Structure 1
Amino acid sequence: MKELPELTDDAVIDLAREGGVAWIPKLAGERRFALAQLPAPRREQVCDILKKAMPLGAPPGENNPAGRGDQRYFRIQISYETDRQSGDIVILIPEQLAPPELEHLWREGECE
């Protein structure tokens, strides 16, 4: 997995739950967090949740078991820009491996 870059105010995080047998819009809702728009304590909470969750997933591809069969998974996409680099990271985390804080962030759009 690519190392998590420094998340500055330019970073935007998209968090969605995908997969399963049937696509149901309410169950696949995407959350977007623009770090520049979050107060500092909430921004730190979101970044802490990501740091905890990212090692549990892998980029999309043949070696990633997320989404196989009817398994749900979380898709985290981080768009970032720093002084030295910019880009996107996409990580898929099987729902059963995801920390409860990640699911709460996706469901409520809030940190616990």
Structure 2
Amino acid sequence: MTINATQCGHTLTMHIPHNHSPEQSPEPEVEQLYTAANAGGTDAMVSLGLLLGEQDRPTEAEHWWQAAARGGDPAAACNLGNLLHTRGRPKEAEHWLQLAADQGYA
């Protein structure tokens, strides 16, 4: 699964190294994202989802996007909807994509 960082409006992860593998220590920027996401920062959650998606870690991406979407972030809802659609979960995808659209996010 690959989601373009700007596909759903977030550009923060475009400046973070995306070659990190789970076996390596994360870059300081990635650690900062985890810290911010764990503190409730929805922008960080969305960015982590993008980063994890690019690392082919869709379950983890789904976790962070769902948390951000539930926190009211329409980009997260858009990303989550697209992910769920590609994972063969159209009803769930429709819910999140509609939520993003209802917030003026297309």
Q: Could you state the TM-score of these two structures normalised by the residue count of structure 1?
A: 0.29
Larger strand percent: 1
Larger helix percent: 2
Bigger Rg, structure 1 or 2 = 1
Q: Could you state the TM-score of these two structures normalised by the residue count of structure 2?
A: 0.30
Higher relative contact order by CA 8 Å / sep ≥ 6: 1 or 2? 1
